[in-house]
Amino acid sequence: MFHFKSQCLALGAILFPSAVVFAQQSADSQLLSEVQVAAPKYPQKLNQTGKVVSIISRAQLDQMTGKSLAEVLQSQVGISVNGARSAPGSNQEIYVRGANTGHVLLLIDGFPVNDPSHISQVMDWNLLDISSLERIEILKGGQSTLYGSDAMAGVINLVTQKPSSKQVQGKVQIQVGSIGELNTTAQVRGSIAKNLWNIQVRDFISQGYSAAKDTIGTFEKDGFRQQQVHVGWSRPIGEKSWLDVYYQWNANKSNLDAGPYADEKDYTAKANSSSLRMQYQYKGDHLTWYLRAFHEVIHREFTNDSTFIAANAWTNFSHSTYEGKSQGLEWYGKWSLGREFVLLAGTEYRYQNTLQSDYSISAYGRYDSPSLAPEKANQSIWATYATVQKNWDMGGIEMGTRWNKSSNFGDFTTFTINPYVFLTKSWKLFANVNSGFKVPSLYQLYSPYGNSVLKPELGTTLEFGLSIAKPAWSARIVGFQNSVKDGIVFQSKNVDPYGQYVNVSKQNTQGIEVEGGYRKGSFNSTLNYTFLDGNLTNKFAGKDSTYSSLIRRPAHALVLNLGYQINAKWQVSLLHHWQARRTDFVYDEALFSVVSKELKPYVWAEIQSSYQVNKHVQFNLLIKNLYNQAFVESYGYSTQPMNLLLAFKYQW
């Protein structure tokens, strides 16, 4: 939503799910000099960075109508989303380059978004969708120098649509699906005097299907509902300043099951978030500076009623509430120092707390778990950072560092070094060396299993890559290695409370990302391949235990997209996504231990077509799981059958 003079050039009918920078370059290698991203905290041309950046534009998001944010990300190179193709409302875990789910930072317009009440502080991705977005920017590799905690494997920046300075514009979109889906979105934006505004509302209902795998044919459907309100307001302040205010409210309600292969008929989850973000921008001749503030509250509630009691249930009734509050204030500026030198420096303060309580009723009576209160369960961090960038005709380099001071564990620093060089006008060689960190969550610090002396997880990333951009085709190959020390894991104990979080883990992940795009006439295609290899070592009682870290993550993944523009109004595209076998770990009640389960490889296919009747009316058809393949993302849980979604959009 925020007023950056940045725009992402789309190729109109470029094929839909895998929209990366190299695909956009394939139309014209000179376009690279014009494409800008906002994720580096200010609009920056892509040909002036060696970072690994992928962009999904608004035009491409329009071609993905009917897909969740997790489904959009699932087909991107180096990203695996467990739960993206499961029942609506299912838990979704996003892994970037094989790193843990808490090692990727979600941003909305550059503002950090997480849930302080969650064990890993990760946001519930079900609270988000793509309808309000202008584009998605994905930066891989450690980004903690600019963005602090959690950005160890990368950041995903959701850039929202801006208020319009033109006459009133709007759209209404209605989508129906074969598994009982109804998705309605309405948006109006325009200007009054110097005030720019944008309002969008959305209501999504899905009757769904059983979240747990139904082997006997009697499980109930687990429905899902999502409601959203987005409001944006912008206006100039004088001749050189601009003010942006953005409010967002999201709410979910979903039915849950008791576990793998276990139905539950009265287990529900509710979640809502309320966010207010503000930015003041001043643009001078040599200095542009920004003042930012945000306030966000997330509330989650789980209720398991006693009307139906699952066969493996420990309790007859349970109720849990989790609330997290995040606040932040940041100032940073960009100085143009001449001779292609750019200095970016800033300081920020973040604060978070949580309120948690739960109780259950069983044959032994009522049990109340120890509660977490904001007076105890809170933490803050203050940071100062700076980067210097120098560009030449033949390449450039960016170097930076960040100093962090935490209320819990003192101070520490991170760094980044990012050189790149143009071998020719089309070939670019680049490298990145950086460090990152993730602070312990409030639950890991202050819950009954908490450990107040936990240290932050620390990571380093090393990557090398080569990219080429030709008029008709483009490609990029990146090799990387991520290392994490002082990883936080749960250690079981034989005395009350029978476990505690400790810093005893080391994780190493390495891999290769290969992606390419080709376009000729009305035909276009992209192909990406990801290879991962990783191990995790835990040191308990002086003994090392090493095993693969790729839990639920494939070592090999391949995505092929084929698109064809039939005529000026009609477009069609086909996606195939192959995932190699994966390993899941589940608790076996009969053995009283955790056992591994192998998940077989599968191919996911989609076909999509859109038809533009006129400048006001468009139809979009999406068929998911085209071959109706039975596959598993998580052991004992269902995945989407073949289903069809038809959308009608009217805009003015």
Give SS3 for 42. Answer: coil
Task: Return d(Cα 623, Cα 578) in angstroms, integer.
Answer: 17
For residue 27, the cross-strand partners are none
* Cβ atoms of 259 and 635 closer than 8 Å: no
pLDDT for residue 340: 85
Task: Return d(Cα 380, Cα 628) in angstroms, integer.
Answer: 49
pLDDT for residue 542: 73
* Cβ atoms of 575 and 16 closer than 8 Å: yes
Task: Return the C-alpha torsion angle 175, 75, 416, 8, nearest 10.
Answer: -50
pLDDT for residue 338: 85
Give the type of residue at 446: Y
Task: Return d(Cα 130, Cα 72) in angstroms, integer.
Answer: 9
Task: Return d(Cα 308, Cα 255) in angstroms, integer.
Answer: 13
Q: Which contiguous run of DSSP H or E holds residue 528?
A: strand 523-540
Give the type of residue at 65: T
* Cβ atoms of 120 and 140 closer than 8 Å: no
* Cβ atoms of 242 and 280 closer than 8 Å: yes
Distances (CA, A) of 377 to 139, 301, 348, 446: 31, 19, 21, 6
Smallest CA-to-CA distance from 411 within 439, 435, 387, 432 is with 439
What is the DSSP annotation of 99-155? --GGGEEEEETTEEE--TTSTT----GGG--STTEEEEEEEES--HHHH-TTTTSEE
Smallest CA-to-CA distance from 274 within 251, 297, 299, 301 is with 297
321 exposure class (CB count in 10 Å sphere: 0-12, 13-18, 19+): middle
Unique residue bearing structure tokens 């029942």: 87
Give the type of residue at 214: D
* 405-427 core/surface letters (b: 16 or more CB in 10 A; e: else): ebebbeeeebbbbbbbebeeeee
Task: Return d(Cα 583, Cα 553) in angstroms, integer.
Answer: 7
Q: What pTM, to 2 d.p., does this model score?
A: 0.91
Q: Which residue ranges in the chain fall short of pLDDT 50? A: 1-34
Give SS3 for 455. Answer: coil
Smallest CA-to-CA distance from 263 within 214, 192, 320 is with 214
Q: Which contiguous run of DSSP H or E holds residue 442?
A: helix 442-446
Count the neighbouring beta carbons within 10 Å of the beta carbon of residue 22. Answer: 23
Task: Return d(Cα 557, Cα 554) in angstroms, integer.
Answer: 7
Task: Return d(Cα 55, Cα 44) in angstroms, integer.
Answer: 13
Task: Return d(Cα 370, Cα 541) in angstroms, integer.
Answer: 28
pLDDT for residue 178: 95
pLDDT for residue 11: 27
pLDDT for residue 20: 34
Angle at 137 between CA 134 and CA 141, to 5 degrees: 170
Angle at 63 between CA 17 and CA 94, to 5 degrees: 40
Tokens of 582: 């994966």
* Cβ atoms of 288 and 42 closer than 8 Å: yes
Distances (CA, A) of 52 to 126, 180, 321, 465, 521: 26, 39, 39, 8, 28
Could you tell me which residues come within 8 angstroms of residue 528 by beta carbon, excluding any fewer than 6 positions away? 18, 20, 76, 77, 513, 514, 515, 516, 558, 559
Q: Output DSSP code: residue 249.
A: E
Give 570-589 as a 3 state SS string: EEEEEEEEEECCEEEEEEEC
For residue 460, the cross-strand partners are 435, 483
Task: Return d(Cα 577, Cα 518) in angstroms, integer.
Answer: 18
Start-to-end C-alpha separation, the chain = 20
Smallest CA-to-CA distance from 439 within 500, 511, 383 is with 383
Could you tell me which residues come within 8 angstroms of residue 171 by beta carbon, excluding any fewer than 6 positions away? 185, 186, 187, 649, 650, 651, 652
Smallest CA-to-CA distance from 288 within 334, 242, 341, 243 is with 334
Unique residue bearing structure tokens 């007076």: 375
Tokens of 443: 């639950």
Tokens of 65: 């109508």
* Cβ atoms of 366 and 360 closer than 8 Å: yes
Task: Return d(Cα 114, Cα 424) in angstroms, integer.
Answer: 41
Distances (CA, A) of 188 to 128, 199, 227, 461: 19, 5, 17, 43
